[in-house]
Amino acid sequence: MRFRDGQWLPAEGVRAEYAEEVYRITETPSGKGISLLCPTKKIMTRGDILNLATLSVDIEAAFDGCISVTTTHWQGAAQRGPNFELFPAGQPDIPAQITKSAKGTTLSAGSLSATVSSKPHDFDISFHSTDGSKKLTTLLNRSVGFAMNPGPTTPLATEDMSKIKHYIFTQTTLGVGESVHGLGERFTAFNKVGQKVDLWNADGGTSSDQAYKNISFWLSSRGYGIFIDTPERVELEIGSERCCRVQTSVEGQRLKWYIIYGPSPREVLQRYSILTGAPGSVPAWSFGLWLSTSFTTSYDENTVNTFLAGMKARDIPVEVFHFDCFWLKAFQWCDFVFDEDMFPDPKGQIARLKAEGTVKKVCVWTNPYLGQASPVFAEAAEKGYLLKRKNGDVFQWDLWQTGMGIVDFTNPAACKWFVECLNKLFDIGVDSIKTDFGERIPTEDVQWFDQSVDPKRMHNHYAFIYNRLVYEALQARYGANEAVLFARTATAGTQRFPLTWGGDCESTPEAMAESIRGGLSLGLSGFAFWSVDIGGFEGYPEPWIYKRWVAWGLLCSHSRLHGSNSYRVPWTVDEDDSSDEGCSATLAKWTHLKARLMPYLFSQAQHSTKNGIPLSLRALCIEFPDDPTAWTVDRQFMVGESLLVAPIFEEYGSVQFYLPKGKWTNFFTGEVKAGPAWFTETHNFGTLPLYVRENTLLVLGKAGEKRTVYDYDTDVEVRSYFAGEGTKAVLVDNTGKEVGVLEVKGGGVTGKKALKGDFVVTVVNA
C-alpha cells in the first residue's frame, strides 16, 4: 500500500508518522537484544514529549546470521493467532553481543550485526556482516512508521478506531543494482524490483499478479533475505513507491520480520529453513511420470484402463495414475466416495492395475470444501465441522460447488473426521492425495471453531493446516518418508509437506515461461520440489507445444501430465503420430531419460532437503551468485548443482541460452562450450540444451533403464566431466540412504567399491 503521493506529499486521506530519532536504547527482557524508543518528532526540549506518538523498535538476535526486528505503535493491541510455526526442529542457541562505540550501539548475532547510529536526533539502523566486510541494508530517515486512513485531524478521533485503518510499515534500502526475488510462486517478472506485491493467496491462474503460494520471504542479490513473520495480508512496494526502498506494511499495530545473512543464496536459504522448517523428503517413486485423467473430461474405469494400456504399449512407464475431480459424483465434491456409476469396484480396479504393472501408485483429487448435495455435508454441518458465520449459520456460497461449506481445521473433531475419510481411501489402495484449492478462504462474517484466531490471519494460514493434516495422515499410514501431496496452495512453512504444482496455466509458450518464473521464485522461497501441468492446463495444446513442454517438464523434480477439458495422453494430441518426432515417442524419450538420471536426482534431492534449496527448478543465482547475469535469467534453470536446462519456446526449435563461467558439456552430443556467454541452438523434439557443469561425476542408470525405482548403485554409468581433484558424487540407495562417495583423487576415481554389478566409469572429456 502506498502512503505517499510521490516523494513529498502524503497520499489522499492518509496520515503517516515516522520514527524521527532514537531517543533511548535499553536491553530487551530476553537479554538478547535492544529496544529503541523512537518519538515521531525530534525531541529538542522537554515539552516535546507531550501529545506525541512513539514507536518501539525491538532488535533481537535469533541465531547465527539472523536478527529479528519488531516495530510496534500501541503495545496494548491484542495479538491474535494463528502464527507461523517457527524453529520446528528447535532454535539454535547463540549469545547476543551488545557493544557500544563512537559510531553507535551494535547488536551481533554471530556473523550478522545491526548498528544503531549514535548521532543525536538521528534514526539510522544499518545491517551488516559482523566482520564489517558486507553492508546489507539500512533503515534510514522516515523508513519506520505508522499510517492511518482516513487520517485523523485530532488525536481525539482515535477514540473510535473501528472507522480508521491503522498500518505499520518499514522501508529497507535497496542498493544500486540490487534485485529482489522469491515471495512465493509468482508468475510476474523474476526480479520483483518495481512491483507491488500483495501476499494474499488467490486462485488467479498463472497469468496474473495473483499467486496460489504467497511466501512472506524474499531474497536479495546483496547476500541477505527477509522473512516477514505474519500470515496476514502483507503489502510490499518493492522500489515502486520509493525507488530506493522496499516497503513492507501490514494492517495492525505490530510488524515483525527477520533479516537473514548469507552471504550466498545457499546460506540464506539454509538459515531460512532453520527458521520455518526444512523441506520434507519424498520417496523415489514420486519422481516418475504422473498421468492424470484431466479435469472436466469424461472418464470411467474403461477410460483409465485404456489410457494405461496405451501408455504401456508405447513404452511410456507411468509411475502414478491420478484420478481428478470426476472420480466423485457431480455436485458431491468432496465426499471421498468413488462415483459407483463410473467406478463400480474402485478397490478391485486399483488392485488389478497395480498387479498388472501398468501403474505403481494411485493418487486422487480432494479439496477442503463440501457441496451441500453431498451426503456428508449434513453430517459435517450438524457436528460443527464446517466454518460458520457470526450468526451461527454454516458459511456457504455458490463459488465452485453449489452451497459449499469449508472444513474448519481449527476444530480437532473436524480434523479427526477428515483423516478418517482419507483413511477409507487409503484402505482401497490410494497412495497419494492431491490437495487442491484452499485459497478462497473468507475473512468477513466468519467465526472459526477456535475463536482466538483472527480471520484475516487464517486466510493464508489455512494452506498450512490443510496440507499438514493430509501429509501427516499419509505419513501415519505409509511411513515418514513415503508421504506425497500434490498441493496447489501454500504459505511459509508449507515446504515441510511436499509437493506442490504450479496451478492453472494456459497451453501456450507464454504460459510455459510464466510457469518457469513461478517455479524459480518458489524455489527461492525455500521449496525443494515443484511440478507443472505438462502441456498446459487450459486449452488444447498444439503438438509442438506439448512436446516442448514434455522436454523440460520431465526435468522438473516431479512430472505430471494434466489438463482441463482435454486429455494429455500423447496420442490424443497429434492423432497418434507414430514417428520418432511424434508426441508418444517424444514423451517416451524424456521419461526414459529421467529414469536414467534417478541416481543423480535422488542423491541431489537428499542434499536439497537437508539444506533448504530447490532441486528443480533451481535458479542459476544459487549456483553462480557472483555472476550478475545469473540473477536475471528466468527462462532456464539448474537441476541440482550440475545440470543446466534451457527450455525451448519456439515450434522450430530455436533457443537462446546463457552458460555461466566454466566448461559445459552437451549431455547428448559431448560438445563443449565455455562460458560466460550466450549461445543459440536449434533442436528437434528429442533434445534441448542440457549441459553438464565441469567438475561433475554424473551417476546414471544403465543404458536402457526405464524404471524410476531401482538400485542406484548397481549397473550404473559414471560419467566424468572435466572432473578435477576432489570432485565428488554421493551415492544413495532408493530410500535416500548414503551408501558411498565417489571422489577424484590422483587422476582416478576412488570409492568404486560402493558400486555393484556391471558398472562403467567414462571420462567424457578425455
What confidence tens digit (pLDDT) does each residue in 526-535 have? Answer: 999 999 999 9
Same domain, 695 and 577: no
How far apart, in whole angstroms, are the C-alpha atoms of residue 287 and residue 285?
5
Q: Is residue 172 part of a domain?
A: no
User: 265-307 pLDDT, tens per residue?
Assistant: 999 999 999 999 999 999 999 999 999 999 999 999 999 999 9
Cβ-proximal residues to 472 (8 Å cutoff; 6+ apart), any chain: 483
Cα 272 to chain centroid distance, Å, stands at 13
Query: Which whole number is the average pLDDT over 19-40?
Result: 96
Percent of the chain scoring above 90 in pLDDT = 99
Rounded to the nearest 10 degrees, how much is the dihedral formed by the CA atoms of 339, 345, 348, 349? -60
How far apart, in whole angstroms, are the C-alpha atoms of residue 714 and residue 565?
43
Q: In which band, very low, low, confident or very high, does the pLDDT at 95 lie, cut at 50, 70 and 90?
A: confident
| Domain boundary residue, one of 120, 143, 166 | 143
pLDDT at residue number 448: 98
Same domain, 555 and 652: no
| Domain boundary residue, one of 85, 108, 143 | 143
Q: Is 51 left (phi over 0), alpha (psi -120 to 50) or beta?
A: left
Strands of 64-194 (E only): list them: 66-72, 97-100, 104-109, 112-117, 125-129, 135-149, 165-173, 180-184
Same domain, 694 and 633: yes
Same domain, 299 and 445: yes
Q: Is residue 421 part of a domain?
A: yes
How far apart, in whole angstroms, are the C-alpha atoms of residue 557 and residue 530?
6
- CB-based contact 497:442 (threshold 8 Å): no
Residues forming beta bridges with residue 179, ordered by sequence position: none
- CB-based contact 685:582 (threshold 8 Å): no
Same domain, 323 and 446: yes
Same domain, 437 and 484: yes
**DSSP summary character for residue 112:** E
Q: Return the H-helix or E-strand segment holding 291.
A: strand 289-292
Q: What is the CATH number for 717?
A: 2.60.40.1180
How far separated are the first and last CA of the chain, in Å rounded? Answer: 59
Same domain, 538 and 638: no
Q: Is residue 344 part of a domain?
A: yes
Q: What is the CATH number for 465?
A: 3.20.20.80
Q: Is residue 4 part of a domain?
A: no
User: 322-364 pLDDT, tens per residue?
Assistant: 999 999 999 999 999 999 999 999 999 999 999 999 999 999 9
Q: What is the residue type of 648?
A: I
Same domain, 25 and 121: yes
Burial of 95-129, coded b for 16+ CB within 10 Å and e otherwise, reads: ebebeeeeebbbbbbbbbbbbbbeeeeebbbbbbb
How far apart, in whole angstroms, are the C-alpha atoms of residue 230 and residue 580?
52
Catalytic residues: 436, 439, 504
Residues forming beta bridges with residue 267, ordered by sequence position: none
Taking all residues of the chain, what is their mean pLDDT, rounded to a whole number?
97
How far apart, in whole angstroms, are the C-alpha atoms of residue 227 and residue 184?
12
User: 745-758 pLDDT, tens per residue?
Assistant: 998 999 999 999 99
What is the SS3 string spanning 224-265?
EEEEECCCCCEEEEECCCCCCEEEEEEECCEEEEEEEECCCH
Q: Mapping DSSP to helix (H, G, I), strand (E, B) and coil, where does residue 474 land?
A: helix
Percent of the chain scoring above 70 in pLDDT = 100
Cell of 190: 523474476
Same domain, 587 and 640: no
Q: Is residue 268 part of a domain?
A: no
Angle at 116 between CA 113 and CA 122, to 5 degrees: 155
How far apart, in whole angstroms, are the C-alpha atoms of residue 229 and residue 466?
20
Residue 433: domain span:
284-368+412-591
Cα 360 to chain centroid distance, Å, stands at 27
Indicate the pairing of strand 559-561 with strand 289-292.
Answer: parallel
Same domain, 470 and 554: yes
User: 430-477 pLDDT, tens per residue?
Assistant: 999 999 999 999 999 999 999 999 999 999 999 999 999 999 999 999
How far apart, in whole angstroms, are the C-alpha atoms of residue 241 and residue 195?
9
- The answer on pLDDT for 412 being more than 80 is yes
- The answer on pLDDT for 673 being more than 90 is yes
Cell of 131: 566482520
- CB-based contact 549:533 (threshold 8 Å): no
Structural domain total, the chain: 3
Burial of 55-70, coded b for 16+ CB within 10 Å and e otherwise, reads: bbbbbbbbbbbbbbbb
Q: Mapping DSSP to helix (H, G, I), strand (E, B) and coil, where does residue 376 land?
A: helix
Same domain, 345 and 459: yes
Q: What are the phi and psi torsion angles at 498 (to 5°)?
A: -75, 155
Q: What is the CATH number for 105?
A: 2.60.40.1760
pLDDT at residue number 295: 96
Burial of 42-52, coded b for 16+ CB within 10 Å and e otherwise, reads: ebeeeeeeeee
Same domain, 501 and 559: yes
Burial of 138-174, coded b for 16+ CB within 10 Å and e otherwise, reads: bbbebbbbbbbbebeeeeeeeeeeeeeebbbbbbbbb
- The answer on pLDDT for 540 being more than 90 is yes
How far apart, in whole angstroms, are the C-alpha atoms of residue 114 and residue 100?
12
Cβ-proximal residues to 374 (8 Å cutoff; 6+ apart), any chain: 331, 332, 333, 334, 335
Q: Is residue 686 part of a domain?
A: yes
Query: Which whole number is the average pLDDT over 618-629?
Result: 98
pLDDT at residue number 766: 65
- The answer on pLDDT for 693 being more than 70 is yes
pTM equals 0.97
Q: Is residue 44 part of a domain?
A: yes
- CB-based contact 411:418 (threshold 8 Å): no
Residues forming beta bridges with residue 672, ordered by sequence position: 665
How far apart, in whole angstroms, are the C-alpha atoms of residue 634 and residue 658?
11
Query: Which whole number is the average pLDDT over 622-642?
Result: 98
Residue 599 neighbours by CB distance under 10 Å: 27
- The answer on pLDDT for 391 being more than 90 is yes
What is the SS3 string spanning 665-726?
EECCCCCEEEEEEEEEEECCCCCCCEEEECCEEEEECCCCCCCCCCCCCECCEEEEECCCCC
Kindly list the distances between the CA atom of residue 629 and the CA atoms of 269, 340, 633, 659, in Å, as whole numbers in the listed order: 20, 56, 6, 10
Query: Which whole number is the average pLDDT over 389-403?
Result: 96
Q: Is residue 743 part of a domain?
A: yes
